[in-house]
Structure 1
Amino acid sequence: MRTRADWVYATRIPKGKVVGRRWRIIRKLGEGGFGAVYKVEEIVTNELAALKAEANNKRGNVLRIEAKILHRLEGKPHVAQLIQTGKKDSYSYIVMTLLGDSLDKVLRRIGRVCSISSQIRIGIQVLFGLKQLHDAGFIHRDVKPGNLALGFHSTEQSRFIHILDFGLAREYIVVDTDGKTKMRRPRPNVRFRGTLRYCSADVQERCEQGRMDDLWCLLYIMVELRGPLPWANFQTLNYYLRPDYLLLYHVLEKIMVVNGIKFSDPFDWENDELQCKFCHFLPSALWSSQQKTESSDEVQDLLSTDTECSMESIEENLFPEEVFALDQYGF
């Protein structure tokens, strides 16, 4: 079993120590319950890389899954490459391509929402990465900005998004006795895996995760690139939770303001009704140019009159904020 001492060894490899007779520790990049990630350099070539160390566990470890996935993705574009694996008395490690900042860190640094241009390109790159992962036979099960990273800043991959941290990934394909590849049967009851903020409704219901659940995560990430998710401030999602109606209203109101939308704007079906009202004014090829001009003027008058009437009869503030903010029952 993994012990506290093993975890300490994995998270406190000293600066300057050489691991695997090849990689010198430069500094620790981060740590978690599994162990730690270090920036390392090759002692001969000075090549930079990332080393992930994890305390040993007799029942298996996360790094074994990561190494298996990276091995299957070997040679694929825009994927961190597995360089070396090893095992010490107290911890195991893998050495892989050094990546840059996480998408989460980048977004916090710029301190604002992304442009549509950045949003769409990020979406396509993550979709590409997920397709490769799924083709390798795995579901990520924890796609989020913190698990997406740019390539290292001094490399040609610095403008590409990479998927990382496969510790919660699960293989969804198996090879049966006759050598045929098939999908694993979904389990009827599963433990929660992922990040509540980005996971799908099925995952919240403790359903087995499939490829589509990774794509739901991507969808929520893309929404968040343009503004906060409506449930971003929710700590729990349960029967007793009072929804933050005012927050949801502000999200929708902001979309209206940015796009210049007014409550008095005609709905799509109202536009259709207006078209029906003046459809008999549509010019015929047999009409004279004077008749066409007169007909066009009548159409413009009709549209102008109806629009002005609509604008005057509908108030802009039909949905006051105090109604959304009111907590009538206190729960």
Structure 2
Amino acid sequence: MNKPDLFRCFQKYINIAIQVSVSSRKSASSHMSSALVSNDPGKDFVIAGQYQLRTKLGSGSFGDVYSAISLKTSSEYAIKLEHIKARHPQLQYEYKVYKMLQGGSRIPCVHTFGQERNFNFLIVDILGKSVEEYFIMCERKFSLKTVLHLAQQMLSAIEFVHSRGLIHRDIKPDNFVMGLRLMHNKLYMIDFGLAKKYRDSRSLEHIPYREGKSLTGTARYASINAHIGAEQSRRDDLESLGYVLVYLCAGVLPWQGLPAKDKKEKYTRISQKKQATTIEKLCQGLPAEFVAYLKYSRSLRFEETPDYKYLDTLFQNLRRTVSTTNELVYDWSKPRNLPTR
């Protein structure tokens, strides 16, 4: 081998060695980076020296929800976790909202907010399954009696939130959950990461009407005004509740499952279908009270205080016509597939 060939061969091996070294460093760096930004806290993760994670209860855009047990008292809690580098962190804000709502009979008790390693955490009382989970268990349709039991409790929760100067802005079956044990028949409202003040805490002045807002909340249940870019207020929470109730009665809404190539087109098609569907058509086959509810909620002006009593009376009177007892027996609590004698 002559000298030029020997030099080229040597240079080739040097380049290979450099590439391997760089690749190894990148791989190691990648593994370190993954460890630093991992969204999995691990089974043995203990928060604030007291709360040990157990089972993952659910996930969302913010992060994950786990059940946890206090190593001091053996009490069980729900813990929401989000990575400290989350693109849109919301747990600290949600903690502040929960603090504003403490004392409400349909609001879970919030315990603390903080940071542990790479995570923000929010600790609240643990509750049962969501209305959406029970809905799926019941093959995606509730009896009218069950819907009316839920409707009055949902309306009560929304009224309380509004009384504290807040709107929820993401009313959906997933954000209403049932209690546990002695409270298993009681409904609670959760997930306040999108909540917003609609009035000033001191002056009680209502926020101004604006347009050109992006859609906040879940498109399936969003109000028409939210779709067209209007600032949301109390009326929008109530309109969303109307869609939730129709969904629970009918099993589906007309704007579900529309084909779309992306989220923008999906939102546009849902908005168009929602505006094109008359309230009478939407509530076809349902009692007239559902039509009255949606007509009223859509008729409200931006700053108008809703007549919650009127809406509650609609459901209360209807409930009396379908049930002779006030006993809270939901579809999911009825015995199913029991052997017959």
Deviations 1:182-236 (A, max 9, x none): 2222333211111111111101101111111010111011111210222223343
Q: Can you give the 5+ residue segments of structure 1 that lack an aligned partner in the other structure?
A: 259-331
Map of 1:220 onto structure 2: 243
For the pair 1:174 / 2:197, whether they are aligned, the reply is no
Q: Distance in 2 between matches of 1:35 and 1:203?
A: 25
2:114 touches 2:121 (CA, 8 Å); kept in 1? Answer: yes
Please state how far the C-alpha of 1:117 moved relative to its aligned partner.
1.4
- Determine which of 102, 111, 123 is the counterpart of 1:74: 102
**Cα displacement (A) at 1:58:** 9.1
Q: 1:64 to 1:252 in 2, by over 3 A?
A: closer
Q: Secondary structure at the match of 2:80?
A: strand
Aligned residue type for 1:199 = A
Corresponding residue to 2:285 among 226, 244, 255: 255
Aligned to 2:212: 189
Give the structure 2 partner of residue 137 of structure 1. 165
1:44 to 63, 68, 72: 72
Task: Give the secondary-structure state (helix, strand or coil) at the position aligned to 2:200.
Answer: strand
* Counterpart mapping for 1:160-309 below 5 A: 160-175=186-201, 179-227=202-250, 228-235=252-259, 236=266, 238=268, 255=285
TM-score (norm 2): 0.64
Aligned length: 245
Residue pair 1:23, 1:43 contacting (<8 A) in 2 also: yes
More helix by share: 2
Task: Kindly indicate whether residue 81 of structure 2 is the aligned counterpart of residue 53 of structure 1.
Answer: yes
Residues in 1 aligned to 2:271 and 2:83: alpha-carbon distance in whole angstroms: 39
Q: CA 1:210/1:252 → structure 2, altered by over 3 Å: closer, same or farther? A: closer
Post-superposition offset of 1:104: 0.7
Name the structure, 1 or 2, with higher relative contact order (CA <8 Å, separation 6+).
2
Alpha-carbon shift at residue 6 of structure 1 (Å)? 8.7
**Residue number among 53, 63, 86 corresponding to 2:91 in the alignment:** 63
1:29 aligns with 2:57: yes
Aligned AA (1:208): E
Deviations for 1:81-102, whole angstroms, at most 9, x for unmatched residues? 1012111342211100111111
Separation of aligned partners in 1, 2:229 and 2:36: 30
Tell me which residue corresponds to 1:286. Answer: none
Deviation at 1:66, TM superposition (A): 1.2
Q: Residue 129 of structure 2 aligns to a residue in which SS?
A: strand
Q: Does the C-alpha gap of structure 1 residues 5 and 171 become closer, same or farther in structure 2, counting only changes over 3 Å?
A: farther
- Distance verdict in 2 for CA 1:6–1:78, change over 3 Å: farther
Q: Give yes or no for contact 1:7–1:35 (8 Å, CA) kept in 2.
A: no
1:210/1:240 CA distance change after superposition, 3 Å? closer
- Cα distance in 1 for partners of 2:270, 2:185 equals 44
Highest CA radius of gyration, 1 or 2?
Answer: 1
Partners of 1:120 and 1:140 in 2: CA distance: 21
The aligned residue for residue 120 of structure 2 is: 92
Partner Cα separation in structure 2 for residue 131 and residue 164 of structure 1 = 14
What SS class does the counterpart of residue 130 from structure 1 fall into? helix
Relative to structure 1, the CA distance from residue 254 to residue 42 in structure 2 (aligned partners, 3 Å threshold; closer, same or farther) is same
Across the aligned residues of Structure 1 and Structure 2, the Cα RMSD in angstroms comes to 3.2
2:315 matched residue in structure 1: none
Q: In the alignment, is the contact (CA less than 8 A) between 1:78 and 1:157 conserved in 2? A: no
SS of 1:122's equivalent in the other structure is helix
> If the length of structure 1 is used for normalisation, what is the TM-score?
0.66
Does the CA contact (< 8 Å) of 1:150 and 1:159 recur in 2?
Answer: yes
Go from structure 1 to structure 2 and tell me whether the alpha carbon gap of 1:73 and 1:111 turns closer, same or farther (over 3 Å shift): same
Which of 116, 139, 155 aligns to 1:127? It is 155
- Tell me the distance in 1 between the aligned counterparts of 2:224 and 2:113: 37
What runs of 5+ residues in structure 2 fail to find an aligned partner? 1-32, 260-265, 288-341
